[in-house]
Amino acid sequence: MRAVAWHGKRDVRVDTFPDPKIEHPTDAIVRITSSGVCGSDLHLYEIMGPFMEAGDILGHEPMGIVEEVGSAVTNLATGDRVVIPFQIACGHCFMCDRGLHTQCETTQVREQGMGAALFGYTKLYGQVPGSQAELLRVPQAQFGPIKVPEGPPDDRFIYLSDVLPTAWQAVAYADVPEGGSLVVLGLGPIGDMACRIARHLDVARVIGIDLVPERLERARTFGVEALDLREYDTDIVKVVRDLTEGRGPDSVVDAVGMEAHGAPVAKVAQHITGFLPDALATKLMEKAGVDRLTAFHLAIELVRRGGTISLSGVYGGQADPLPMLTLFDKQIQLRMGQANVKRWVDDILPLVSDDSDPLGVESFATHRLPLEDAPRAYEMFQKKQDGAVKVLLQP
């Protein structure tokens, strides 16, 4: 089969691999029809190289057709159309029973001290071959895959793998009070969708902040007050406070994460790891890794006293300096974590099945490219070229 493989910083290639096989009774083999390129994939493309090996298959936003199932998989059959959550969970352990599928005790990567295994995402999360490929072996298939109907295009359902539940959880964790206000930092795929979900859930005031013109315009079409960071820069806090009765928004979603603009010291620290031997770079990232915290610090400054910050953007540092005095003094509540995909599916599936397409999923992708064009897709997405917000790869 053909698949997208990591070979180094900003170096992804489409290589040939053996077709995956059933390895355990709870496995399934799925022929991929679409797979998204995620902002989290850019962390592998840019920063997380110390935890990668040449030839690792990327991707964690897949859907496709079941080709084969293991003997313990009784909920799926050959020919079923499925979306596959980005995390691998068993559905029956202590954590899964509590809706915390990203903490699944069956697939936890204990040797790394991490939570549930993820598709296509570094040694830290199990080094499971990813979904930007023609075929995918799906562990724990007795629970994970989400069956969807035939007929509508892939775009209707593929975002159930990551974008939709991640954005839904971000808004749920933000816990905006009735009649309240929400600021979303970053209008990439997750921030954009979080704004749409917040509007759908009747959040009274939704303000999005970004600096990419195309992303700002997309948000405005869904009734979001979109602010261009380039116009306000250091005045952005005052501008937002003026829009929220002088005290700041009730809640903030940070949908940016570790690759925020600014934070030059952290940028240099991340860049340095690229020049170290893998063993040293890994130790540095594990023990002294720092993130570019511009977006998080802005969230802390923006949110009103007693408000809530929901972190959906991925952070990976182990030595991040936090303004604990401000967090404590403002009585800020923090919620964060990888999305527990199946916790939210029952809420979301009726919306993507609705002919009116209330969240605009059919037009959400800005680019649909053949799998062989993956290197160009990564470069375009990373550099924010050609209005790229969401790219789907199709084998």
Q: Which of the listed CATH numbers 3.50.50.60, 3.30.750.24, 1.10.10.10, 3.40.50.720 matches domain 164-336?
A: 3.40.50.720
Q: Report which residue type is found at 269.
A: A
Given this model, what pLDDT does residue 107 score?
98
Residue 199 CA, chain-centre distance (Å), reads 20
| Segment (H or E) for 191 | helix 189-200
Rounded Cα distance, 10 and 22, in Å: 32
Rounded Cα distance, 120 and 318, in Å: 22
Residue spans in the chain of domains classed CATH 3.90.180.10: 2-162+340-394
Residue spans in the chain of domains classed CATH 3.40.50.720: 164-336
pLDDT tens, residue by residue, 346-364: 999 999 999 999 999 999 9
> What sign results for the dihedral spanned by CA atoms 231, 234, 240, 246?
negative
Is pTM beyond 0.85? Reply is yes
CATH T-level assignment (fold) for domain 2-162+340-394: Quinone Oxidoreductase; Chain A, domain 1 (3.90.180)
Torsion angle (degrees, nearest 10) of CA 28, 31, 37, 39: -10
Per-run averaged pLDDT (10 residues), the chain, 395 residues: 96 98 98 95 80 94 98 98 98 98 97 95 93 98 97 97 98 98 96 98 97 95 95 89 97 80 41 44 43 81 97 69 88 95 97 96 97 96 92 96
